[in-house]
Amino acid sequence: MDPSQVDVPPLKDLTIDNITDNVKLINSGCPDPRLKYLLERLVQHMHDFARETRLSHNEWMTAIQFLTSVGQICTDVRQEFILLSDILGLSLLVDSIDHPKPASSTEGTVLGPFHTHDAPPEPNGTQIAHDPAGEPCLVLCTVKDTEGKPIEGVKIDIWETDSSGKYDVQYEGREAPDQRAVMTSDAEGIFWFKAIVPVPYPIPNDGPVGKLLTLLKRHCYRPSHMHFMMEKEGFDHLITALYLRGDPYETSDAVFGVKESLLIDLGKVSAGQAKTYGVKEGGKLMSYDFVLVSEKESRELREKNAMYAMKDLGLRMKLYNGLPIPEVD
């Protein structure tokens, strides 16, 4: 940016009391009204935080070093910033705001840091988990719309840990995805596959986020669950998971993901199912009927909720690409 091209308000002698307005002023040249609003609120909250806590230079430096270490431990297959967002409840909050679900549809929950983009597309019936120590589990699900009609061709991303509570990416030398697949629902909205019974596991606790949890005297466990991410044009993207009822961490998930509507009891494979799906009779069965909301309904609900929340906060806003910005600049 050539400085001669930039209209800068005179900034000098900034103090505890006037720096916030001045930083907002210099950022207000941002041509994107949404980014401008995000920065305006970010600066206000960061500065208010420092003023309310009388943040010391040592604490600031500790935070700088902490954030640096969070960034530096990230790799292609480890996302410590998502983990940090998860344990601070931000991830669940953002999902709740961005993907409001009408009562008739399946609720969302945290994405978590372990989704990858390399899971292979698989046909119904695939064995997605290859850990011989895992307890076999037949997964038999449907995807329907809010009127009960089956949805064909939904892309369903599935991921779970092995029997020791680790995702494939947590092993060194991972060569190919395991305990992962991308399924597609058939004409009846059915998708089914062979997996293993999910187990509780600690989120990665050998990094800065694990250290923070220890300082906060919080445990790092997640209750047993299997992740599902569903995508089809015309429907709201659903990031969710199914949780096993009765898990020791059912009410203390380190990342706040559990919802009553996503808790399930595992069933038993019947003789007929055993024959139909080629699995052992009496084995574990996970079944669930997912309900997707249309993109239109979700967008309308999101925008209605946004405007209602803005009004509730006393803010005069309008929507820009579906997201709030100040009505008057």
Q: Please report, as residue ranges, which positions from 171 to 230 form the binding site for its own copies (by CB under 8 A).
A: 213-221
Q: Which residue has the tokens 């996503």?
A: 262
At residue 265, what is the residue type? D
Query: Of residues 131, 152, 231, 250, which one binds its own copies by CB under 8 A?
Result: 250
Q: Is 328 in the site for its own copies (CB under 8 A)?
A: no
Q: Is 96 in the site for its own copies (CB under 8 A)?
A: yes
Question: Cβ distance 226 to 160 under 8 Å?
Answer: yes
Q: Which residue has the tokens 């390399």?
A: 118
Among candidates 109, 85, 77, 83, which has minimal Cα distance to 96?
109
Residue (149 or 251) nearer to its own copies, CB: 251
- Report how far residue 27's alpha carbon sits from residue 36's, in angstroms, rounded to the nearest whole number: 7
Q: Is 240 in the site for its own copies (CB under 8 A)?
A: no
Residue (203 or 279) nearer to its own copies, CB: 203
Query: Of residues 124, 161, 260, 278, which one binds its own copies by CB under 8 A?
Result: 260
CB of 95 to its own copies, least distance (A): 7
Among candidates 226, 179, 223, 218, which has minimal Cα distance to 200?
223
Query: Of residues 167, 193, 201, 249, which one binds its own copies by CB under 8 A?
Result: 249
Strand positions, DSSP E, the chain = 136-145, 155-159, 180-184, 190-196, 201-202, 221-222, 225-231, 238-244, 263-264, 267-268, 284-292, 317-320, 323-326
CB of 27 to its own copies, least distance (A): 5
Question: Cβ distance 264 to 245 under 8 Å?
Answer: yes
Q: Is 12 in the site for its own copies (CB under 8 A)?
A: yes
Within 295-314, which residues bind its own copies (CB under 8 A)? 302, 305-306, 309-310, 313
At residue 267, what is the residue type? G
Residue (228 or 249) nearer to its own copies, CB: 249
Q: Is 140 in the site for its own copies (CB under 8 A)?
A: no
Phi-psi region of 146 (alpha: psi -120 to 50; beta: other; left: phi over 0): alpha
Number of residues counted as binding its own copies (CB under 8 A): 96
Q: Is 147 in the site for its own copies (CB under 8 A)?
A: no
CB of 37 to its own copies, least distance (A): 7
Within 22-41, which residues bind its own copies (CB under 8 A)? 22-23, 26-27, 29-32, 35, 37-39, 41
